[in-house]
Amino acid sequence: MDAFTSTLHSQRLAALLGIALGVSFSICFVTGLLSDLIQAPPAWFTWPARPVGLYRVTQGLHVATGFASIPLLLAKLWIAYPRLWAWPPIAGLLHLVERISLVPLVGGSLFLLFTGVLNIGFWYPWNFFFPTGHYWAAWITIGALIVHIGAKASIARNALGRSRSLTNAPMPGGLTRRGFLGAVTGAMGLITLTTAGQTFPPLRRLAFLAPYVPGVGPQGFPVVGTPSAETVELAERISAYRLTVSGAVANTLELSLEDLQALAQHEAELPISCVNGWSQTLRWKGVRLSDLVVMAGAPPDSSVTVQSLQPGTYDVSLVNPLQLQDPDTMLALEVNGEPLHVDHGFPVRLIGPNRPGVTNTKWVQRVSVD
């Protein structure tokens, strides 16, 4: 230990950073798990349609706590790494378990933050499906974190109970602990300030690190997932377009865009809340999804599957009975008073309250009652 003379390598500082990381990782884990449940709901889970912006908040927290964890984790690793050279290397069973758990803890944390950031940048230099890898790494990391907290709790408690001023003299030319904590807090603040504008419009001018920013894109909002050449071509031959409402219905419907425009139109202000953290509220107008289901002779508390005409990862979306019964869940034909731009799903897209962005399928062709 003599080689690591900086007073920053203290147990007290390690404990403080550990608590901060524990809090940010826990919020990130719970909100991430929730996002996964919403997108792939097991039988026991139903995500409600209200409050309208709940997912916007939980996913905003997921991304923000992930970002804030980066400087915290780097600082914590820097503070704690001399302990890897502690002698004896293994002092008892508890110590052994604690040391082994560092592999999934550190490896998992780095993996989660790294893949999370790259996913936000839509850069996938790997060949696994991001949500699956991120999901399992999260469970492994949280498991290791619980072991780590269990093994370290009493050390941390002692370290935090000790007098603050004990060994706070900096190395010549070095940082004080207060200075170090200040630098870490400053880095967290800077990352938050330069990303939060993706969901918080007053800060959008500062959102240098956010790939999507409210207000930027066709019709004043970003495009996530672009139409293929075939989709653009189909949109241009709009007279051939038909929306099919089928499945467990009394009568199958085939509706042209004109037919849809002739039905009762509904308007609502709803956000798009992308899993990547970008979100923006827009004014939508279109046909209530439940109206179409009832027109086809199915009950308004059905479950439906909405399908895009463009094949891809996000080409189907489930609408549960709570969401279908919500008056604001609709097939939108217009946004902010204009027909949808083809990038935003022309001729028809799904939009509804409290739904993750990915589930707001664009270029809808089929509604199937399950």
Contacting positions for ligand MTE (CB under 6 A): 221-225, 272, 274, 308, 310, 312, 314-315, 344-345, 357-358, 360-363
Minimum CB separation of residue 278 from ligand MTE in Å reads 7
User: Residue 160 in 3-state DSSP?
Assistant: helix
Task: Provide the pairing of β-strand 279-288 with 330-335.
Answer: antiparallel
- Name the binder of 66 from ligand MTE, Mo ion, none, CB < 5-8 A by kind: none
Minimum CB separation of residue 291 from Mo ion in Å reads 26
- Name the binder of 364 from ligand MTE, Mo ion, none, CB < 5-8 A by kind: none
- Name the binder of 360 from Mo ion, ligand MTE, none, CB < 5-8 A by kind: ligand MTE
The answer to whether 224 contacts Mo ion (rule: CB under 5 A) is yes
Concatenate the DSSP letters of all residues of 256-297 into one string: -HHHHHHSPPEEEEEEEE-TTS-EEEEEEEEEEHHHHHHHTT
Minimum CB separation of residue 214 from ligand MTE in Å reads 10
Minimum CB separation of residue 269 from ligand MTE in Å reads 15
DSSP 228: P
Phi first, then psi, for residue 251 (nearest 5°) are -140, 130
The answer to whether 358 contacts Mo ion (rule: CB under 5 A) is yes
For Mo ion, give the closer residue by CB, 147 or 223.
223
Segment interacting with Mo ion, rule: CB under 5 A, options 14-22, 76-84, 271-279, 325-333: 271-279
Q: Return all residues near 318 (Cβ < 8 A) that are at least 6 apart.
A: 41, 303, 304, 305, 306, 359
Rounded to whole angstroms, the Cα distance separating 215 from 204 reads 9
The answer to whether 274 contacts Mo ion (rule: CB under 5 A) is yes
Q: Return all residues near 226 (Cβ < 8 A) that are at least 6 apart.
A: 343
- Name the binder of 150 from ligand MTE, Mo ion, none, CB < 5-8 A by kind: none
Minimum CB separation of residue 235 from ligand MTE in Å reads 12
For ligand MTE, give the closer residue by CB, 180 or 363.
363
Rounded to whole angstroms, the Cα distance separating 119 from 15 reads 30
Q: Return all residues near 106 (Cβ < 8 A) that are at least 6 apart.
A: 77
Q: Which residues are near Mo ion by CB under 5 A? A: 224, 274, 357-358
